[in-house]
Amino acid sequence: MTEQLRLMAVHAHPDDESSKGAATMARYVSEGVDVLVATCTGGERGSVLNPKLQGDKYIEEHIHEVRAKEMDEAREILGVRQSWLGYVDSGLPEGDPLPPLPEGCFALQDVDEAAGTLVKLIREFRPHVITTYDENGGYPHPDHIMTYKISVVAFDAAGDPERYPEAGEPWTPLKLYYNQGFNRQRTVALHEALLARGLESPYGEWLERWQTADRPERNITTHVPCADFFEIRDKALLAHATQIDPDGSWFHVPMELQKEVWPTEDYELAQSRVDTSLPEDDLFAGIREN
C-alpha cells in the first residue's frame, strides 16, 4: 500500500494500553504505522494498586489528573497518539450481592450512543485495523465489557453512511481483533519454563483458577512477533505508577526467558473484510498485499 497503515487500539482505562498489546503497538510504530489509542474512561475510580503510593492524599484527591499524566508519559514512551472518549470510570463492584454501578458511569451508557463517540473517532482517524476486548472483557470489569460492546457496534457502523450521519464521512475499517495476551497457552509455557529453571512462578494460582473456571478456550489466530519491544512495553507500564508495583508479579519473569519462551503478543481475529490465511503473524495481513 502507498497509504500509511493505521492501527486503533480501543481500551477501557489508562494503563490498559500498556498491559495489553503495548509491544505490538511499539513494533508497528517503529515500522511507520500510525497508531492511536482510544481510551474510553479516565480511570477515576481505579484503586491505587502500587503499595508504595497508597495513602498519598494528593493522589487520592487528584486521581483523574494523576492518571491522565501517567497516560501522557506512557503515550510518549510507546510513540503512539491517544484520545479520550470522555466517559467516567464505572469502578469494579465488589461484594455479594454486588452493589449497583454509579450513576452516569461508562457501563451504564446507552451502547448505541456511546458507540457513536467511537464512530466519530474512527471516521476521523480512518484505521485499517482495530483491536479491543472480547465479549468477556478480558476479565469481567464492566468497563471492559462495555468497551467490547461499543467497539463491535462502531466497527460495523463506521462505514455505513446511513448510521451516525453526524459523525463525519464514513470509513470502513478492515479488521477487528480481540486482545488475547493472557491466554492459557502462554501462561502454561511461562509457568513450566520458570519451574524448569528452578524459579518461582507467579502463575500457579492463575492456572488453578482456570481449571475450575467454566470458560472455553479462545481461538488465538494471530501471534505478532514483538519481543524486541518488551522493554518498551514494561517502561510504558511502569509509567502508570499508581497502578503498577515495580516489585510485583508483572515483572517476575526474567526478560530473556520471556523473549525465548513466548516472543509474541496474541490476538483473536473477530472480523475481517479482507482475505487472510490463519494463523497470522501480522495484524495487517491481507491489507498490506492489497
Q: Is 16 annotated as a binding residue?
A: yes
Please check if 89 is assigned to a binding site: no
Whether the Cβ atoms of residue 75 and residue 37 lie closer than 8 Å to each other: yes
CA distance 204 to 207: 5
How many residues would you count in the chain? 290
Residue 259 grid cell: 523473549
Contacts of 186 (CB under 8 A, 6+ apart): 262, 266
Residue 13 assigned ligand-binding role: yes
User: C-alpha angle 35/253/56, rounded to 5°?
Assistant: 75
Helix (H) or strand (E) holding 270: strand 264-272
Q: Are 239 and 74 in contact (CB under 8 A)?
A: yes
Where is the binding site, in residues?
Answer: 13, 16, 144
Where is the binding site for Zn(2+), in residues?
Answer: 13, 16, 144
